[in-house]
A and B are shown apart, each in its own frame.
Chain A
Amino acid sequence: MHVLVCIKQVPDTQKVRIDPERGTLIRKGIPSITNPFDETALELAFEIRESVGGRVSVLTMGIPDSECILRDALTLGADDAYLLTGSGFAGADTLATSYALSLAIEKTGPFDLVLFGKQAIDGDTAQVGPEVAGQLGYPVVTFVQDLISVDHERVVVDRMIDRGRETVEVDLPAVLTVVKAEQRLRVPTFTTILNGFAVPVTRLGPNDIGADPARCGLKGSPTRVKKVFAPKHQSSVSLFSGSVEESAGAFVRTVRELGII
């Protein structure tokens, strides 16, 4: 079983602040991290390897500095790592990203399973996983929460849906996007750390994957960001004060007046 996990370097959105004057993101000093959902996808890949054997590879597309998240994945136990990088990939929307990733997957594969985090916490689109599946013609299961069973032919997983869960069976090769918030992530061991620094990261550029420059990066992106602005601040909060009876009473009157109840 050969599992590929696609990961992304993202700014830690918990620490992101907004420039109140310009309404832009202050990126300076914001640490870059591995997208947390991708970490849970990596964990799922390790579970699969433990269950049926095989290899776990990691792939990212990004600036040269994103090599550090591949290194982190290697020190957690990934077997090999690929960095898709080059100025031609810059400014890619989800279509151009999925195009480049799918070529890299075809180049470095074949893989039985391609895993993604359900979404990246910077863009929050949740589109790249299913779009890669579409590019490759693989079936896809999104919002996977638990692995039920896996063998060399197929995988059965539980996925989160709006009103609960469903169990989905899919033949390999397939794409899964993973959301496993409660999962306990492993920590590196002495052996995996040594391995992590011994394994080279393979760099791939547009030419290495046979990419059409017109379909990569900003050029290959049908969508354009026209404007970025801070959400308008709501009017300040009205606090109900006084005794519990008074404040609770004021709240109940307000919701009645607003016609909510």
Chain B
Amino acid sequence: MQHRNIWVFAEKSDEIHPVVFELLTEGRRLSRALGEELGCVIFGSPDREEIKRLASFGASAIITIPACDEAVSTAVETGVEASVEASAELLCSAVREMKPAILLAGATSFGRTLMPLVAVKLKTGLTADCTQLDIDVERGILLQTRPAFGGNILATIECAGSRPQMSTVRPHVFKMKAMEKHVRPEIVEYRANKPAVRISRVIQRVLEDTMVDISMSDVIVAGGRGLGRPDGFDLMEKLARKLGGVVGASRGVVDLGWISAAHQVGQTGHTVSPRLYVACGISGAIQHLAGMKGSDIIFAVNEDPDAPIFEVADYGIVGDLYEVVPGIIEELNAGD
């Protein structure tokens, strides 16, 4: 049997991860170019609302992998709550049997662990953190574009001879858009045997700030060493709140202990692409730029007009952030 169709892996903890809907939106375009179906693979038993939502984003088939044994039921029922190793094994069996040509997943901390495990077991290629996906229509091949060398270059990668072609994509890289009309999806239940793999066990999870998953925010106000002092983040927080966003930080200030690593943007932290990125006192080291270049609008405040951040910024103010930022807050208040 030939490999056909595109699958999006639907990561789910409490709810289906937003990146899934972004991938389905992009998957619709790819499946049209390829002339194949778009499916969605999910652990556990999605409820009616979830099925409807997945379908409204273009999934014409939903492959469910239900609990097959108590030992993996936690993993399967909750998706990310437990064993990534068991999940990988189950996903591999489903792929082997149903033979999708393309498998996409979000580059979340779970997806970035799951997908390599799946790829190596299937002896196929995997391209991490793609920022662009296209179809070479003539050859029916997925073209995967991703940054490398700290965002200095982009490379287009293909996996012509092995299937499935696998990619991970960071949240926010693609926009999500539901369809106006959609068909009732076909539900395919895939029952696998209990995977015999050694697993790691999550024994505790602490979500740092309930509001901080900075990669999902539309607005980020980020501070760097130019803040000069830890309480500069109080000002960042004020502005972030005014703009309906969250606080980000450069690695330098995280290293100094001014703010927790959950806020870190850049190569060693989160890769973000909000609608608005406000960089205050951030000079713009390549490693930082690698993590935020994909933002729709970048606004920089810096005392140094030659700071590299101005090379990627759309708008900027050269000046003292302790004058500029309060000025902006005042302007925002005046408009309320």
Contact = CB atoms under 8 A, between A and B. Distances in A.
Interface majority SS (helix, strand, loop, mixed), chain A:
mixed
Interface string A156-196: 10011111111111110010000101100000000000000
Interface in B46-100: 84-85, 88
Contacts of B312: 234
Contact of A252 (B108, B112, B286, B332): B332
A241 B120 CA distance: 54
Nearest to A179: B268
B220 to A, nearest CB: 12
A156 B129 contact: no
Contacts of B226: none
Given A127-B119, A163-B262, A251 B150 contact: no
B328 A252 contact: yes
B206 A165 contact: yes
B228 interface: no
In this complex, which of B84, B162, B255 has the most chain A Cβ atoms within 10 angstroms of its Cβ?
B84
Contact of A254 (B115, B198, B286, B315): B315
A29 interface: no
A251 B208 contact: no
Contact of B254 (A18, A181, A222): A181
B178 to A, nearest CB: 20
Contact of A126 (B112, B153, B251, B285): B112
Contacts, number: 266
Contact of A248 (B120, B197, B330): B330
B176 interface: no
Contact of B157 (A161, A168, A174, A226): A226
A239 B328 CA distance: 15
Of A182, A222, A233, A244, which is in contact with the most chain B CB atoms at under 10 Å from its CB? Answer: A222
Contacts of A182: 254-255, 257, 261
Contacts of B310: 237, 239
Interface in B120-154: 120-121, 123-129, 143, 147-154
A94 B157 CA distance: 13
Interface stretch (B184-192, B230-238, B316-324): B316-324
Contacts of A258: 276, 297
A251 B200 contact: no
B117 A130 contact: yes
Nearest to A235: B314
A227 B316 contact: no
Given A125-B128, A139-B85, A240-B316, A224 B201 contact: no
Interface string B271-286: 0000110000000011
B286 A181 contact: no
B204 A166 contact: yes
Contacts of A252: 328, 331-332, 335
Interface string A132-161: 011101111111010000000000100111
Interface string B209-253: 000110100110000000000000000000000011000000100
B126 A139 contact: no
A163 B213 contact: yes
B158 A226 contact: yes
A87 interface: no
A121 interface: yes
A90 B294 CA distance: 32
A260 B148 CA distance: 30
B324 A244 contact: yes
A127 B113 CA distance: 8
B45 interface: no
A164 B108 CA distance: 12
A224 B155 CA distance: 10
Contacts of A228: 153-156
Given A122-B149, A142-B112, A237-B314, A226 B162 contact: no
12 contacts: A14-B287, A24-B153, A124-B129, A126-B116, A140-B84, A162-B108, A169-B201, A223-B158, A244-B327, A251-B299, A252-B332, A261-B243
Q: Which 5 A-B pairs have the closest CB atoms?
A: A248-B327, A134-B120, A223-B125, A222-B125, A222-B162
Given A123-B148, A130-B117, A139-B199, 10 more contacts: A95-B124, A163-B207, A169-B200, A170-B200, A182-B255, A239-B316, A241-B317, A245-B327, A251-B331, A260-B275
